[in-house]
């Protein structure tokens, strides 16, 4: 269903997207923290990291709880990190951006929203633990597989993603192996796996642009910033706005891939 066909549905969807974004940000950041700490991220109750008190319903409203409680724990008065508020607002805004960029209320929109949420989780694992957590990579792959039946021109879309994986992620593996053979530091294998999964979503053109932007930003920041958050941001932007960014170039490439797929009798 086109998002802007009925105004009140568009407004309702945008507001709902922001609310869900804030709620899921609270969930995914908490999950990432528990995974890094080796805690049970499914059954463990939310609690204050300082006093250990189990949080009540009034403590768990995204944004509002932080503002109303003055950014402090209601039980011990310890300061709650400002990034809790920032992450909730950020994912809410990202959800709205994803909805607006896609312009349709369908399964692909839901897929992109789930991807954005998981991107935040794996990004926090890299920021806090300096690790590319393979559990999140697997979840991102599972979302891609689950959404495949609902993607327009599924065979073409899949072929585009696989080609991107072979050319780009394969090239990264060869480069990493060459550096390792020369007794230099290669690329983290877990990062290559994550890149390959991201490329399944974007395809060749959008994926190449996103990775090029990632490399440029990483180099500009002096190679000191965690690479996963940078790559995740670039990937979601190119995924949602790829057609607008590349225009006819994408159309020409897609046509070529389509003919390639047809040549195998699909």
149 Cβ neighbours under 8 A, 6+ residues apart: none
85-140 pLDDT, tens digit per residue, is: 899 999 999 999 999 888 888 888 999 999 999 999 999 999 998 999 999 999 99
211 Cβ neighbours under 8 A, 6+ residues apart: 168, 195, 231, 234
* Residue 241 in this model has a pLDDT that exceeds 70: yes
Give the pLDDT confidence score for residue 2 in this predicted structure.
Answer: 72
Give the pLDDT confidence score for residue 151 in this predicted structure.
Answer: 87
Comparison of pLDDT for 76 and 87, the residue scoring more: 87
Phi, psi of 54, rounded to the nearest 5 degrees: -70, 130
200-222 pLDDT, tens digit per residue, is: 999 888 899 999 999 999 999 88
Tokens of 15: 């507001």
In the predicted model, what is the mean pLDDT of residues 75-89? 82
Alpha-carbon distance of 191 to 132, in angstroms, equals 6
Alpha-carbon distance of 140 to 146, in angstroms, equals 10
Alpha-carbon distance of 22 to 25, in angstroms, equals 5
3-state secondary structure at position 223: coil
Burial of 61 (0-12, 13-18, 19+ CB in 10 A): middle
- Specify whether the backbone of 53 is left (phi greater than 0), alpha (psi in -120 to 50) or beta: beta
Give the pLDDT confidence score for residue 43 in this predicted structure.
Answer: 66
Q: Which of 244, 138, 161 is nearest to 207 (CA)?
A: 161
Q: Which of 235, 249, 239, 258 is nearest to 120 (CA)?
A: 235
* Residue 171 in this model has a pLDDT that exceeds 90: yes
Domain ranges (residues) in the chain: 1-105, 150-266
């Amino acid at each position: 269903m086109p998002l802007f066909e009925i105004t009140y549905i568009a407004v309702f969807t945008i507001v709902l997207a922001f609310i869900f974004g804030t709620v899921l940000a609270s969930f995914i950041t908490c999950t990432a923290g528990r995974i890094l700490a080796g805690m049970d991220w499914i059954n463990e109750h939310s609690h204050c990291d300082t006093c250990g008190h189990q949080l009540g319903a009034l403590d768990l409203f995204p944004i509002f709880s932080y503002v109303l409680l003055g950014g402090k724990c209601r039980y011990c008065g310890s300061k709650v990190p400002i990034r809790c508020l920032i992450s909730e607002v950020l994912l809410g805004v990202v959800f709205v951006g994803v909805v607006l960029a896609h312009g349709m209320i369908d399964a692909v929109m839901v897929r992109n929203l789930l991807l954005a949420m998981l991107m935040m989780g794996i990004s926090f694992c890299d920021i806090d633990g300096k690790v590319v957590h393979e559990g999140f990579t697997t979840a991102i792959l599972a979302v891609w597989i689950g959404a495949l039946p609902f993607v327009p021109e599924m065979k073409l879309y899949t072929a585009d993603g696989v080609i991107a994986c072979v050319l780009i992620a394969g090239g990264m593996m060869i480069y990493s192996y060459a550096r390792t053979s020369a007794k230099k530091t290669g690329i983290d294998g877990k990062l290559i796996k994550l890149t390959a999964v991201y490329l399944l979503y974007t395809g060749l053109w959008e994926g190449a642009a996103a990775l090029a932007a990632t490399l440029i930003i990483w180099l500009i920041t002096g190679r000191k910033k965690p690479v996963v958050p940078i790559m995740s941001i670039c990937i979601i932007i190119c995924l949602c706005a790829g057609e607008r960014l590349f225009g006819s170039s994408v159309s020409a490439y897609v046509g070529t891939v389509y003919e390639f797929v047809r040549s195998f009798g699909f």
